[in-house]
Structures are given as C-alpha cells and as structure tokens.
Amino acid sequence: MSGQLPVQCLVSRRSLVMSLPGAARCSLTVAVQSCGAALLVMLAVAGCGRPGGETAPRDSLYARLGGEAAITAVVDDFVARGAANPAVNFSREGSERRWAGTPEQVEKLKRGLVQFICRATGGPRKYEGRDMRTVHAGMNITDAEFDALADDLRASLDKLNVPARERDELMAIVATTRTDIVENSGAASSR
C-alpha cells in the first residue's frame, strides 16, 4: 500500500512483537489496540537492535520516529512532494546552482537527507555530507522557499501519521538550519 511501511505485527494482550525488514526481532510491552503498517506503529520499536548492533537511546527522537526505516519513508515522500511544489523551486531556477534532478542526483539527495536526519535526531548513523552552509551556497534560497519546503516536510510527517510531539521536535531541528540554508532573505518569511 502506498504511504505505508512494511511491518509485521502480532498483538497479544499487552505484548507487541514486531519484525522489520533488515532489523532484529523486537519485543516489548505496550498498550496497543490495533496494529497496522503506519509509521505510528514503528514507534514501538524504539531502541531495538539494528543490523551491526547499532542502537540509539530509547528516548531519542530517532528511536521515537521509528529509526532509519521510518525516516527513509518520510524522506521518500518529502522529496517527491518538494520536487512537485513550484513554491520550493527544487531545480533552483534563477540561481547559479541550477539542478537537473537526475535519478542519481535524487537518490544521492535522499541518502544525504536520511543520514542528516538520523544523526540530527540522535541516531547511530554517521552524516557523511558537507555542512548545510556549504551544501546550499549559491542556491539563492529564500525564506519563502525554505518555508514551502518545511511545509512539505510537515505534510509528509502528517501523511505518515507521525505523532505531534515527534513532528514538532523534528520541525524545530529543521528550523535551526534556516540561517545556513537561506541566502536571500529578501523574500519575507511567514515564520
């Protein structure tokens, strides 16, 4: 199903057992009324073992979001949404850094975003990209474009049923990147 993540669940009274592709089988006690493949259900695996034995603290935003698999699902939806939004100017028309958005470039962007979000939310993944100021230099990104892309991220988080607390924490992290990303603050921000 579109917009859903591959999760298999078995609910018995107060125990939840989940199997995620590429992750260890996790078992924990939670109060669950139903089980589906939505991102919300993935929150129950917070802190479970991942391939290579890497773990994040159970209370980290990374763990509460559902780890790398859930973040990847958000990034996939977010990049498609942002690319389709003319207010974002995804191809950077009118800047010295026009972007063609080839399939290879889009995959590289997604990998970088997943790494960045994983690291910024307390996950074990190393961010291998350059700093935000360097990455966005010459793109002439405006406050309005930043806001439009932030709105797209919020819409993706909402579509995937990320709870308000986690959504708002991630949005606050994204907001801290504004000064490194926006070069042209001539277009007023609504925030």
Q: What pLDDT digit, counting tens, does each position of 119-178 carry?
A: 999 999 889 999 899 989 888 899 999 999 999 999 999 999 999 999 999 999 999 999
What is the number of H-type helices and E-type strands within the chain? 8, 3
Residue 9, Cα to own-chain centre: how many angstroms? 23
**Could you tell me which residues come within 8 angstroms of residue 51 by beta carbon, excluding any fewer than 6 positions away?**
22, 23, 24
pLDDT for res 4: 38
Least confidently predicted of 32-36, 64-68, 141-145, 151-155: 32-36
Whole-angstrom distance, CA of residue 116 vs CA of residue 129: 8
Amino acid at 141: I
Q: Comparing 40 with 184, which gets the higher pLDDT?
A: 184
| CATH number of the 58-181 domain | 1.10.490.10
Say if residues 91 and 97 touch (Cβ distance below 8 Å): no
pLDDT above 90 for 27:
no
Q: What does the pLDDT look like over 86-131, one tens digit per residue? A: 999 888 888 888 888 899 999 999 999 999 999 999 999 889 999 8
Selection from 46, 39, 44, 45 nearest residue 167 by Cα: 39
Whole-angstrom distance, CA of residue 177 vs CA of residue 131: 10
**Could you tell me which residues come within 8 angstroms of residue 183 by beta carbon, excluding any fewer than 6 positions away?**
136, 137, 138, 139, 140, 141
- pTM to 2 decimal places: 0.68
Over residues 52-59, the mean pLDDT reads: 60
pLDDT for res 19: 35
CB atoms within 10 A of CB 175: 12
pLDDT for res 120: 95
Q: In this structure, what token pair is assigned to residue 20?
A: 């995620």
Torsions phi, psi for 99 (to 5 deg): -120, 125
Whole-angstrom distance, CA of residue 59 vs CA of residue 57: 5
